[in-house]
Amino acid sequence: MRELKILAIVIFFTAVVYWGVEPFAHSQMHPHVAPADFAFKDLGVNAKKGDAAKGAETFLNAGCIGCHGVSSQGMAAPMDNASASASFGVVPPDLSTAGAIYDKNFLAALIKDPTKALKVEHKFNESRPHPMIAFFGLGGDLDQEVADIVAYLQSIAPVTPLDDKQVYADACQRCHDIKYDKVMSTTDKTALMAYMGTLPPDLSMMIRSKGAEYLTTFINNPQKQLAGTSMPRVGLNEKAQNQVVAYMEKVGDRKKAEREDLGYKLIGYMVLFTLLAYAWKVKIWREVH
């Protein structure tokens, strides 16, 4: 009985220390932020219904392919990666999958005002323009034209689901390495450094240094977690973003399944050991009590 009382005291103080050092300190150091917003409400809503066929025309007339490739439609990128890095600071994305991985609302806002949608107004202004030029329209109803382009991008997006690594490649690989999966950024490092102001970190271990919860709010809106960061808001829809996080976990925490599986066996073994040890102890101590 006395030993149980002592045990309770030991457990109590250990628990207090644990609570203070882990959850409590974390809550003080990393204040809670609002959950990820996949509707991108701050960008307003483009209520126009897009026409994909018209959008294809507008897309060509607007000069999008001056910078962007759409490889699935036979439109190669106008420049190789090295020249694109030198000209824009970062390789412009191929738009083949854009309609599938980015939110529709976000895409519309991005076409009209890239710095606002990407939340990089703190870095780009009149004197340092963002490499993607805002689309001012072809003379008709701007919102309608934008809606058409988005409808076009959605219409050409692959119907079969993309795998996690593919989503990562289309959404993140222009800037970030994942060297533990031998995936390197497509943009030239020197150009990227000059463009971003700092070299975007390798993401191999990011799942363990930041954790899935933080990454979910961070990718969705980097400024919310790290004010002033050069990382733009990516605008991924919920499914695509989950795929990116899943891919990061696959690379950074590859042994998770093995760890959990072995965990049950190790604990099971020790429980058996403990029970046997207890039985032995009772047997031996019977003689001396």
Partner 1 sequence: MAEIRKATGFIDWLDQRLAVNKFIKVMMTEYWIPKNINFLWAMGVVLMVLFMILIVSGIFLLMYYKPDINLAFDSVNYTIMQEVEYGWLWRHIHGVSASVIFLVIYIHMFTGIYYGSYKKGREIIWLTGMALFGMFSAEAFSGYMLPWGQMSYWAAQVITNLFGGIPFIGEALVVWIRGDFLVADATLTRFFMLHVLLLPLVILLLIAVHFYSLRVPHVNNQESEEFDFEDEAKKYLEGKKVESKVVPFWPVFLSKDFFVVGVALTIFFYLVCFHYDFAMDPINFEPANNMKTPAHIYPEWYFLWSYEVLRGFFFDIAGVAAMDIGLAAFGFANVIFMLLPFLDRNTDHVAPAHKRPLFFVWFWLLLIDMIVLTVYGKLPPTGNNAWVGFGATITFLVLFILLPIITKMEANCKCNTGGCK
Q: Which spans of this chain sit near partner 1 (rule: CB under 8 A)?
A: 2-3, 6-7, 10, 13-14, 16-18, 20-22, 24-25, 28-29, 180, 201-202, 204-206, 208-211, 252, 254-255, 258-260, 262-263, 266-267, 270-271, 273-274, 277-278, 280-281, 284-285, 287-289
Helix (H, G, I), strand (E, B) or coil at 128: coil
- Tell the smallest beta-carbon distance from residue 233 to partner 1 (Å): 22
Toward partner 1, which CB reaches closer, 41 or 283? 283
Question: How many other CB atoms sit within 10 Å of the CB of residue 49?
Answer: 9
Task: Give 108-117 contacts, CB < 8 A, sequence gap 24+.
Answer: 108/46, 108/143, 108/146, 108/147, 108/150, 109/40, 109/43, 109/44, 109/46, 110/235, 111/135, 111/146, 111/149, 111/150, 112/142, 112/146, 116/43, 117/40, 117/43, 117/233, 117/235
Amino acid residing at 209:
S
Question: How many other CB atoms sit within 10 Å of the CB of residue 252?
Answer: 19
- Tell the smallest beta-carbon distance from residue 231 to partner 1 (Å): 15
- Tell the smallest beta-carbon distance from residue 275 to partner 1 (Å): 8
Toward partner 1, which CB reaches closer, 126 or 287? 287
Residue with tokens 């036979």, as numbered in its chain: 74
Residue with tokens 């020790």, as numbered in its chain: 270
- Tell me if 69 sits within 8 A of 77, measured CB to CB: yes
What CA–CA distance (Å, rounded) separates 146 from 144?
Answer: 5
- Tell the smallest beta-carbon distance from residue 259 to partner 1 (Å): 5
- Tell the smallest beta-carbon distance from residue 123 to partner 1 (Å): 18
Toward partner 1, which CB reaches closer, 189 or 208? 208
- Tell the smallest beta-carbon distance from residue 32 to partner 1 (Å): 16
- Tell the smallest beta-carbon distance from residue 72 to partner 1 (Å): 33
Backbone Cα Rg of the chain = 26
Beta strands in the chain (DSSP E): none
